[in-house]
Amino acid sequence: MKSGIEIIENPIFKIIGEASDFLGLESYVVGGFVRDSLLARECKDIDIVCLGSGIGLAEEVAKRFNLSEQSVSIFKNFGTAMLKVDDWDLEFVGARKESYQRDSRKPLVLEGSLEDDQNRRDFTINALAVSVNNDTWGTLLDPFGGIDDLQAKIIRTPLEPGITFSDDPLRMMRAVRFATQLGFDIFPETFEALTTEKDRLSIISMERISEELNKIILSDRPSYGFLLLDACQILPIIFPEFMKLKGVDTEEGKGHKDNFYHTLQVLDNISKNTNDLWWRWAAILHDIAKPQTKKFVQQKGWTFHGHEEIGARQVPTIFKRFKLPLNEKMKLVQKLVRLHLRPIALSKEEITDSALRRLLFEAGDELEALMTLCRADITSKNGDKVKKYLRNFDTVEGKLREVEASDSLRSFQPVFSGEVIMDVFDMGPGKEVGLIKIAIREAILDGLIRNDFASGWDFMISEGLKLGLKPVKSLDQMIS
Ligand code: ATP
Ligand code: MG
């Protein structure tokens, strides 16, 4: 493992040390930076604690980097100051002591010693500090055995876990988040306290909970975090819909797969192929409506008819509760949930160009995400089966690409726009324009005409005539 001196080899620390000595302050780099440095993980945030004014230290450091006064962001209420040096984010704070009240995660803050400051930190591995003053340069302070826990890969609270979690229940989500990001175990007593204190999460805002959940989702193996949240009984509190996926019913000796574990495997699978949070959310939600749609049908077995559509409609409710953005990201997740069976269905039947065109049209720019989700959705334990399904997808994808190349449907911009239709029939906006547009789109998707003037002209004219409209322009006039 790195020594204290190696942890602070970045020249930035020399400057911070000099500024501290100049002001007569003891200063330390603490928390995430020290932890990540020892784990050889990238970390661009540097937290500095000093015995005195963090704001004053930040201003002195800024001076030494020739930064203007405005480049220091000061948060007077918190006694903190931040500044950027190159691509490093530095945060300065005076050492503090905290005391908590029962109904809030916002503590009363008093000045304190370094020891007080380390005591208020959430986990032993986050309480490591390295001195940057000249005469104690590189001394590593590890009051709670954080180095041992890093080596043993353990998440443990420095003080009594029940009190630590009850004081600031967000730390429970952080415990699971760090365990998942780092692939660590949670120390047994710490883990027990997650269960006993779980109801305290009610004083935490959903935004903060989702922020941690999203970090779990963005880790290399998110299933681990979900399994921990399930084991300590936090998952039902924050994500009841997901819990409903759990369990297997049996009828006439036939069971279905456990959709809880299936979904987690799909999530892990897709995480190997994308770091996009929303693609990963689509994996989490793709089967979310299976519990409501589950039915045992004689001779057929278990069915989940319509779960993709009902699931897609459930997405906004779930996003709203998690305070996730209700924007085009949510629409992407909805689209993926809605379409997740389509490529599979295609690979099972005789593939018609029309079906391919419709899928291309509906998936639009999300085709790659959809195919990535579908591949992740194959969770059979039978390797031969998996290979066969993946080959089928290759076939579907190849054909999609062929149709795409000839029809350019993905960026489907009908050449017969509303303006063109109004121009040709010399009319203003109205119901007829929409009707003609839909008819043309359907004809293109069915392969009756192509998406160009020459091919679709006669079709458009005849649709207009059916509605009693008369064309005032010819094809030649329109393309000249
Ligand atoms: P990351 O930046 O990856 O989230 P981090 O450990 O740097 O990890 P931050 O939230 O940036 O986490 O916090 C910096 C440090 O502040 C932590 O290492 C920890 O010592 C302390 N800390 C943060 N949040 C809490 C909390 N809720 N309770 C106690 N200590 C905390
Ligand atoms: Mg940090």
* CATH number of the domain residue 146 falls in: 3.30.460.10
Beta strands 80-85; 154-155: pairing state? unpaired
Same domain as 321, residue 194: no
Residue 392 within any structural domain of the chain: yes
Residue 392 sits in the same domain as residue 422: no
Q: Are residues 138 and 9 part of one domain?
A: yes
Pick out the chain residues at pLDDT < 50.
none
pLDDT tens column, 332-385: 999 999 999 998 888 777 788 888 888 988 898 899 999 999 999 999 888 898
Non-local (6+) Cβ contacts of 361 within 8 A are: 409, 412, 441, 445
The first and second tokens of residue 356, run together, are 């391919």
Q: Is 437 inside a domain boundary?
A: yes
Residue at 353 is within a domain: yes
Atom 9 of ligand 1, residue of closest alpha carbon: 32
Structure-block tokens of residue 347: 């690979």
The answer to whether residues 169 and 220 belong to one domain is yes
| 340 neighbors 363 (Cβ within 8 angstroms) | no
Give the global pTM: 0.90
3-state secondary structure of 205: coil
Query: Can you give the pLDDT at residue 235?
Result: 98
Question: Does some domain include residue 354?
Answer: yes
Total number of domains in the chain: 4
How many Å apart are CA 202 and CA 208, to the nearest integer? 12
390 shares a domain with 301: yes
430 and 306 in a common domain: no
Which residue's C-alpha comes closest to atom 5 of ligand 1? 32
User: Which domain CATH number covers 211?
Assistant: 1.10.110.30
Work out whether the CA dihedral 449, 450, 451, 457 comes out positive or negative.
negative
β-pairing, 45-50 with 88-94? parallel
Long-range contacts of 328-336 (CB under 8 A, 24+ apart): 329/278, 332/278, 332/282, 332/366, 332/369, 333/278, 333/281, 333/282, 333/285, 335/362, 335/363, 335/366, 335/370, 336/279, 336/282, 336/286, 336/366, 336/369, 336/370, 336/373
Last residue of a domain, one of 151, 174, 201: 151
User: Considering 121, 151, 181, which residue would you say is the last residue of a domain?
Assistant: 151
For residues 166 and 139, state if they share a domain: no
Ligand 2 centroid distance, CA of 45 (Å): 5
Q: Does a structural domain hold residue 259?
A: no
Q: In angstroms, what CA-CA distances link 312 with 217, 342, 358?
A: 20, 14, 18
Residues 441 and 353 reside in one and the same domain: no
In a domain, 129, yes or no: yes
Same domain (yes/no): 319, 395: yes
Is 171 close to ligand 1, i.e. is its CB under 6 Å away?
yes
Predicted confidence (pLDDT) per residue in 52-92, tens digit: 999 999 999 999 999 998 999 999 988 899 999 999 999 99
Residues near 230 by beta carbon (within 8 Å), at least 6 away in sequence:
243
Q: Could you say which ligand is closest to the alpha carbon of residue 30?
A: 1
Model confidence over 105-138: pLDDT tens digits?
Answer: 888 888 899 999 999 999 999 999 999 999 999 9
CA distances from 4 to 26, 130, 140 (A): 16, 6, 5
Q: What is the pLDDT of residue 472?
A: 95
Distance (Å) from CA 154 to ligand 1 centroid? 16
What is the 114 CA–ligand 1 centroid distance (Å)?
16
Tell me, yes or no, whether 13 and 122 share the same domain.
Answer: yes
> Per the domain annotation, does 52 fall within a domain?
yes
Ligand nearest to the CA of 41: 1
State residue 346's pLDDT score.
80
Q: Which domain holds residue 122?
A: 4-151
Asked if residue 418 lies in contact with residue 429, where contact means CB atoms within 8 angstroms, the answer is yes
110 and 165 assigned to the same domain: no
Q: Is the CB of 117 under 6 A from ligand 1?
A: no
| Share above pLDDT 70 across residues of the chain, in percent, rounded to a whole number | 98
Residue 181 lies in a domain: yes
Same domain, 310 and 396: yes
